[in-house]
């Protein structure tokens, strides 16, 4: 087994190609999402060159990064002959919304098990944003208290439906199973192709870490391509950094095993910072609010308050503190989640 360790990050030509053709996949994207420069923010940060990969631009269901995972998840569900898909999340889950959209596109029944895990009881949080769209997309929503075990409820519900003759596929939190993470392994190859086409070399790719699937998938994809997975740095927005790290390392290696079982990612290559979590998942911070306003007022782009807002706040802090040098190219992945802004009106 070859271990991929934390050598200096580079965007040199991949040593290997990424072949995911043996894994079931159903297309949900319109094609590669663009990489765009942010010139006004780059000037704001003293010449640190900030770029964004616009995963918010995917059209289905309001767009967002979770569609990459869902291409493989619904691909697996269809291969199994499923007629129903169930997933879990918080009340304003972007993954739940996009699962409902993918199910609608494919003609599958969809049930969402949503918990009130975030301590917000404003009407716009409980009924607007993603929740409004879940219902428009035809999903059946199960509203559970924050202390509930959503996945256990989903499995019990799946068993009940199977007893009625239904074929049910259950997605985990955030779609972050090893199969789902393949979506971001594919994204790693997409980034490399675009970077070479644009003559760019990124010293860091910045992402949020919630259920860990985005960072795990990117790390697995880069490792499979022969590129240091430490190129990706995340800010945890859900779990404590130690727990997020352990979960992400495990998922990255499980995903890599689906691609090339001879490879292994050393835990030192998974970089996760804790500085933007604040009081917990979905709880606003002043840094997040400033980052959302900064991106909007300088570049006309809209970040969500739960994932992208906190991760971009980390990038802002790093750029202002001199951790990134003038002329350095940083890529931030915009994950989408725009409906969440409307659910967090009072926070702004």
Return the active site residues: 93
- CA atoms of 16 and 22, how far apart (whole Å): 17
| Nearest in space to 29 (alpha carbons), one of 64, 58, 51 | 58
φ, ψ for residue 199 (rounded to 5)?
70, 35
| Nearest in space to 219 (alpha carbons), one of 243, 192, 261, 251 | 251
| Nearest in space to 317 (alpha carbons), one of 284, 290, 299, 280 | 290
Dihedral sign, Cα of residue 204, residue 206, residue 212, residue 217: negative
Which of helix, strand or coil describes residue 78?
helix
Beta bridge partners of 141: 112
- CA atoms of 100 and 244, how far apart (whole Å): 26
């Amino acid at each position: 087994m070859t271990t991929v360790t934390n050598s200096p990050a580079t965007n040199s030509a991949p040593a290997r190609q990424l072949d995911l053709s043996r894994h079931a996949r159903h297309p949900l994207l319109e094609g590669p999402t663009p990489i765009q420069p942010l010139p006004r923010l780059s000037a704001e940060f003293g010449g640190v060159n900030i770029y964004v990969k616009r995963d918010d631009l995917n059209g289905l269901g309001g767009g967002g990064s979770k569609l990459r995972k869902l291409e493989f998840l619904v691909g697996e569900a269809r291969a199994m002959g499923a007629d129903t898909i169930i997933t879990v999340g918080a009340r304003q889950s972007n993954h739940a919304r996009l699962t409902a959209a993918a199910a609608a596109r494919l003609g599958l029944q969809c049930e969402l098990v949503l918990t009130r895990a975030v301590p917000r009881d404003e009407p716009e949080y409980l009924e607007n944003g993603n929740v409004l769209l879940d219902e428009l997309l035809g999903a059946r929503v199960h509203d559970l208290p924050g202390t509930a075990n959503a996945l256990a409820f989903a499995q019990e519900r799946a068993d009940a439906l199977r007893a009625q003759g239904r074929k049910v596929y259950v997605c985990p939190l955030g779609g972050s199973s090893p199969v789902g993470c393949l979506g971001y392994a594919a994204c790693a190859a997409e980034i490399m192709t675009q970077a070479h086409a644009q003559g760019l070399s990124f010293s860091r790719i910045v992402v949020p870490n919630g259920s860990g699937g985005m960072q795990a998938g990117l790390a697995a994809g880069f490792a499979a391509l022969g590129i240091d997975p430490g190129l990706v740095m995340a800010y945890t927005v859900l779990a404590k950094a130690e727990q997020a790290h352990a979960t992400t390392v495990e998922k990255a290696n499980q995903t890599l095993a689906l691609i090339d079982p001879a490879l292994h990612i050393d835990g030192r290559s998974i970089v996760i910072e804790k500085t933007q979590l604040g009081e917990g998942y979905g709880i606003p911070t002043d840094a997040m609010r400033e980052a959302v306003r900064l991106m909007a007022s300088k570049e006309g782009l809209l970040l969500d308050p739960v994932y992208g807002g906190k991760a971009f706040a980390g990038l802002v802090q790093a750029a202002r503190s001199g951790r990134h040098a003038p002329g350095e190219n940083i890529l931030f992945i915009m994950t989408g989640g725009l409906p969440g802004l409307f659910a967090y009106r009072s926070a702004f």
